[in-house]
Amino acid sequence: MPDAAPDHIARAFDLRAGSVTFTRRGGGARVSTMTDHAHDLGTVREATERLLTAVAKLAEAAVTEPSRLPGWSRGHILAHLARNADALVNVLEGRPMYADAATRDADIERDAPRPLDVQLADVRESAARFQEAGAAPADWSRTVELRNGVTDSASRVPFRRWVEVELHHVDLGIGYELEDLPAKFTEREIDFLAERFTGHPDVPPTRLTDGTRAWHTGREADGPEVTVTGSRADLLGWLAGRRDGSGLTVDGGPLPALPPL
C-alpha cells in the first residue's frame, strides 16, 4: 500500500479486496446474483484493448511517471493489472488468488520499472490467459474465493476484472476520465458499490441519485436518509475513492465518510 494519501484516494486501493459481510437493509443476507459472464468477458476484452491502445501511444519515460494513485507510477498500475489477471485465473481454476499479500506487493514492485514494451506485452498476454480461463467449460453458479476470505459467484469474476481495467485506466492519468467510462459500466459499478456499503454500520442511511435513478445504501434507516445528488461519474468517483465528493450536493446531513474498499 502506498504511503499516506487523501482519504478518498487511499480508499481506492485494493478495490476488489476483502470486506466484511453486512446484513442487507430490510433483513436477509447479502446474496450475489448471477451475471452474464460471457457478455462481461467481451467487455473486458474491449476495455483491455482501449487501455493497451492508449498506453502504446505513451513515450517510454511516461511509464515511470507518477500515476494518480499516490506512491504508484504508471508502471505499478500496469504491473498490477497483469498480475491481477493471473490472480483471477487462479480464482477461476480453484487456486488461492495470491500466495500472500507480501508476495502480491513484491511482484508489483518487481515488475513496475520494466520498459513500456514489456509492460504492454505482459498486460496483453495475461489478459489472454484470463480470457482463456473464462472460456473454459465451468459451473458459473459456483462460489469462488478471492482475497481475505471474500467469496462471490464465479459469474461475477469477469465483471470484477472489468472494474480493474476501467478504473485503473482512469488512474493512469493519460486522458481517460470517469466521464469516458461506458454508461453501462458506470451504472453497474454504482450498483456494486451501493450493495457493498449496504448494511455497513459506519455508513448512515444514504440515498444516491443522478436525477433519473436512485440507489439506497448504508445501515438500516433509523431516521431520514442523507441524499447525495450528482452525475453518475461523480457518484462513482466518490464511491470508488477516485473523487472527494466536491462535485456532489448533499441534503439531510454531511457527505458520509465511506470506509475503505
pLDDT score of 16 more than 50:
no
In sequence order, the 6+-apart residues with CB closer than 8 A to the CB of 10 are: 4, 70, 241, 260
Q: What is the DSSP string of 53-112?
A: HHHHTS-GGGGGSB-SSTT-BHHHHHHHHHHHHHHHHHHHTTS-SSS-HHHHHHHHHHHT
Q: Domain of 139: which CATH number?
A: 1.20.120.450
Is 235 part of any domain?
yes
The predicted-structure confidence for 197-220, as pLDDT tens digits, reads as follows: 999 999 999 999 999 999 999 999
Q: What is the CATH number of the domain that holds 197?
A: 3.30.1050.20
Grade residue 239 by pLDDT with cuts at 50, 70 and 90.
very high
Distance CA 198, CA 252 (A): 18
pLDDT digits (tens, 9 = 90+) for 25-42: 443 334 344 579 999 999
Percent residues over pLDDT 70 in the chain:
87
Per-residue DSSP letter, 34? P
Which of 7, 14, 21 lies closest to 143, judged by CA? Answer: 21
Regarding whether 193 and 146 lie in a shared domain, the answer is no
Task: Give the chain's mean pLDDT.
Answer: 91
Looking at residue 5, what is its pLDDT? 55
Residues 6+ apart with CB under 8 A from 122: 78, 79, 82, 111, 114
Do 48 and 127 share a domain, yes or no?
yes
Residue 29 Cα distances to 23, 34, 249, 261, angstroms = 5, 16, 31, 19
Number of domains in the chain: 2
pLDDT of residue 8: 60
pLDDT band of residue 9 (cuts 50, 70, 90) is low
| pLDDT tens digit sequence for 93-110 | 999 999 999 999 999 999
